Structure 1
Amino acid sequence: MITRFALFEGRIRDGQQEAFRAAILSQVLPEWQAFPGALAVRVNFAEVRDEGAPEIPMILAISYPDLASVETALASPVRARAKAATEAVLAQFFDGRIHHHVTTAHDHDLTA
């Protein structure tokens, strides 16, 4: 499985954390879920971090079956819609940058 991560490095403006989270889930998540070929979408909001660690208030992870599916999703019209929705929310609440990382996942379920 391939997972494409988006790390939102920066800060949520003071007093806006709950509004940011609500806007992401209501306005942007549906667009991320619409990516063709996506198997899973995980929105992770930060709660705590190590002292000295960079501030990353959110990490998005979208999993796909293979790299070709990632490329298809990124070339689809959904990407433009998702980017516009993301940028609209970030303009209201977030100061920072986003960087993406594509990884090969090796899950090891400890509950099985």
Structure 2
Amino acid sequence: MTSERPAWWRRNDEIRAEMGLPAYEPARLADGTYLHALVDELEAEHDCEIRVVSDDASYPSRWTIRVDGEDCASVRRRRDENRNNVYRITADAFRAAVADALT
């Protein structure tokens, strides 16, 4: 995702600021990569389905990366100071896990 955010996002930021609510960031990885952007990129590149799922989403929690329905890696999730999800894996490690699952 580029640093330029869509109009709806900027408007929501204004509303959150008016109400004193914390900033929102989509789920991201340890290196700051947005999870949804990386998943979209990898699904298009490899023609596969990628999901990040948990059987117990309580906090803290362990999540599973699934490629075409098969578990390929496990990752822990934390929340940042604004309660946004951060998965403790880098984009490079995520890419490698997906590539390994597809070979």
Q: TM-score, normalised by structure 1?
A: 0.28
TM-score, structure 2 normalization? 0.29
Q: Which one has a larger percent strand, Structure 1 or Structure 2?
A: 1
